[in-house]
């Protein structure tokens, strides 16, 4: 898989963690921001974005979007911040998310 076909696959998409060589090889030049980040740098940015959100439902939506976009980053973030994320991806927030499903639906 190459280029635009690669990016929607959450199992293959590394976001900004694609190196310059990988971007050239996979036809991703111009499809991603110029900066290349390590997974650890992505985790710092993700934690900052997560902490800026106002409530648990927003954090739930954010994590679902992250999982839909980049599974490696999602699972590493959850693993590294289990106490912080477990109430968001499991009970009690998932119950609220289920009740609000029609309002928070983003993608099938």
Residue-wise pLDDT tens digits, 37-81: 999 999 999 999 999 999 988 998 899 899 999 999 999 999 999
What's domain 39-108's architecture? Up-down Bundle (1.20)
pLDDT score recorded for residue 67: 92
Domain spans, the chain: 1-37, 39-108
pTM value is 0.81
Cα distance between residue 20 and residue 8, in whole Å: 19
pLDDT score recorded for residue 90: 80
For 4-35, write each residue's pLDDT tens digit: 999 999 999 999 999 999 999 999 999 999 99
Q: How far is CA 66 from CA 6, 27, 92, 103, in A?
A: 16, 22, 20, 18
Residue among 21, 16, 12 at smallest CA distance from 35: 16
pLDDT score recorded for residue 89: 84
């Amino acid at each position: 898989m190459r280029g635009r076909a690669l990016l929607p696959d959450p199992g293959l998409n590394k976001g900004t963690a694609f190196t310059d060589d990988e971007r050239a090889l996979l036809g991703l030049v111009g499809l991603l921001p110029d900066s290349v980040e390590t997974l650890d740098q992505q985790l710092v940015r993700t934690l900052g974005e997560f902490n800026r959100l106002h409530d648990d439902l927003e954090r739930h939506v954010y994590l679902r979007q992250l999982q839909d976009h980049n599974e490696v980053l999602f699972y590493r973030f959850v693993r590294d911040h289990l106490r912080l994320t477990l109430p968001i991806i499991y009970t009690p927030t998932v119950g609220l998310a289920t009740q609000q499903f029609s309002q928070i639906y983003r993608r099938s």
